[in-house]
Structure 1
């Protein structure tokens, strides 16, 4: 089984978190969305879409372009997990809104890996549905001491979903 982690990163923090995630998953492959095509998604059995949240709750710049290129792509029931980075202190009203945009980009996918908002302190997030984030929310700016344990818990959840 192959796992592709599609990542966009301006300052390297999202890539760093995704490298740690790949190691915990036992060898997932990182794909930089700056150089990816929509067809690259098809190369993997399972896919993780990962972006930081920028500005007023937007995707990272490379992800903005890549998400546009995914317009009209049907993920055909492919199993997809979502990961976003955000800053709950400085951008608490748009915390990890990238999750919302990533979910919208993965039309037709089976989305797995929702995470309860318990233990997070933020104002609001478009990435929350029914009291849970639609994927993993990471705050390296204010809660980096929780990142590894959150990754570990999420990896177990993903493995239970077939990753």
Structure 2
């Protein structure tokens, strides 16, 4: 099976920890994990399936490595690619910008031809606004929202449920029956 590209950025280590948990749940042999500060836009060409992770900072800012890479990110052609997103944020301290990073990346992916899977329900969260909420489907985020600051006790269960959801949603996008069976 072709590997899935996991690209993420982490400033404080929380997104790094969630990424390690994701790899453990998914299976490391199926993933090619890279930190976003060590990639080029051409690295995205190697994968048909991508999982992107980041945190949102302050007033809706991207994590610093994603911020530095953002101009290049906007130039990537996502046509034919399937992408799942996960993001960390603080729904209490920054409730009007909760996981905005997910939405910022999602809008570029969609504008550049990509397909996003792994939408996650907003039910159970306490935020006031987020660009990560799908405009046409205002009861879901574009990807998994994790508030490790205020709800760390929910992070593991949310991640496990989301990984299973993404694996299920990937099946119709895989080309061969062998790949379908391996997921």
TM above 0.5: yes
The separation in 1 between residues aligned to 2:161 and 2:96, in whole angstroms, is 25
User: How much has 1:144 moved relative to structure 2?
Assistant: 0.6
Structure-2 residue corresponding to 1:111: 116
User: How much has 1:51 moved relative to structure 2?
Assistant: 0.8
Structure 1 segments of 4+ aligned residues over 4 angstroms from their partners: none
More helix by share: 2
Tell me whether 1:75 sits opposite 2:83 in the alignment. Answer: no
Higher-Rg member (1/2) = 2
What SS does the aligned partner of 1:89 have?
coil
Tell me whether 1:132 sits opposite 2:140 in the alignment. Answer: yes
The separation in 2 between residues aligned to 1:140 and 1:32, in whole angstroms, is 20
The separation in 1 between residues aligned to 2:9 and 2:24, in whole angstroms, is 18
The separation in 2 between residues aligned to 1:121 and 1:141, in whole angstroms, is 13
Contact 2:48 2:80 in 1 (8 A): no
User: How much has 1:72 moved relative to structure 2?
Assistant: 2.3
Alpha-carbon displacement from aligned partner over 1:75-125 (angstroms, at most 9, x marks no partner): 112010011100011101100001111112322111000011111111111
Of 102-111 and 139-148, deviating more is: 102-111
Structure-1 residue corresponding to 2:45: 42
Tell me whether 1:85 sits opposite 2:93 in the alignment. Answer: no
What SS does the aligned partner of 1:94 have?
coil
Aligned residues: 163
Structure-2 residue corresponding to 1:121: 126
The separation in 2 between residues aligned to 1:108 and 1:66, in whole angstroms, is 19
Q: Structure 2 unaligned runs (5+)? A: 171-182
TM-score, length-normalised on structure 2? Answer: 0.85
The separation in 2 between residues aligned to 1:29 and 1:19, in whole angstroms, is 12
TM-score, length-normalised on structure 1? Answer: 0.95
